[in-house]
Amino acid sequence: MSCGSGGGCGCSWGKWSLSIVRVVLGIIFFMHGSQKVMGWFGGHGLTATVTMMSGMGMPVALVYAVCFGEFLGGIGLIVGCLSRWAAGGIAIIMFGAVATVHWQNGFFLSMSPDKGNGFEYNLALIAMALAVVIGGPGKCAIDNMCCKKSGCC
């Protein structure tokens, strides 16, 4: 029986796949959070982001929570530190993005400059985040070193 068949052969490919999902999700949110918080990768930085998002009616405290949630949550996911908490926070941020921005634009992403993007990308990110919340950080995560005994992560 092959390890990929899930036949109980003792292999842990599933844990490695969770690691891939966790790290890729972390990179995505580190990059987007870096744009918002640091102004890196073509972003506008924290002041401009707070001004723009609060101008859309979002409370300033919530804007800061979203910006730093993406940035710090991304870092946490990359290294596997508090992975379930970071992924849960990211899922909440994405649910909020769908509810406040993307739902009204329908399902599909749009390449048209006069139409906003739908929620399909957010849905994929939510699924990735929930996989980490449910399945844990996978292999090669700080959580595995410091949370093994207590089960806190």
Confidence of residue 20 (pLDDT cuts 50, 70, 90): very high
37's tokens: 């918080």
Q: Is 22 within 8 Å of 83 (Cβ atoms)?
A: yes
d(CA 137, CA 68): 20
Confidence of residue 75 (pLDDT cuts 50, 70, 90): very high
d(CA 48, CA 89): 23
Residue 1 has pLDDT above 70, yes or no: no
Count helices and strands in the chain by DSSP H and E runs: 6, 0
d(CA 71, CA 150): 27
Q: What is the pLDDT of residues 84-126, one digit of tens each?
A: 999 999 999 999 999 999 999 999 988 777 777 899 999 999 9
d(CA 75, CA 81): 8
